[in-house]
Amino acid sequence: MKIFILTLSLILSFTLSSLAQNSNGVEMADALRSSGKIYIVVLVISVVFIGLAIYLFTIDSRLKKIEKQMK
């Protein structure tokens, strides 16, 4: 019974995902690419991810210092 439910749910999820896809492409991405603004979007996303990485490494180093002090 569990295998039947699992198989049915997988078939249903694949069917729904194939119906949800649009074959026309992404209009917003095409508009941003044609006007050249896509580079600004990529730059902002890159800056945010780099900022998060730096923040996480900083927290990690502080946590290591605290762990060394606790021992």
Mean of pLDDT values over 12-26: 65
pTM: 0.55
The pLDDT-based confidence of 24 (bands split at 50, 70, 90) is: low
Domain ranges, ordered by start, for the chain: 34-71
Residue 31's φ and ψ, nearest 5 degrees, are -65, -45
Rg (CA), the chain: 23
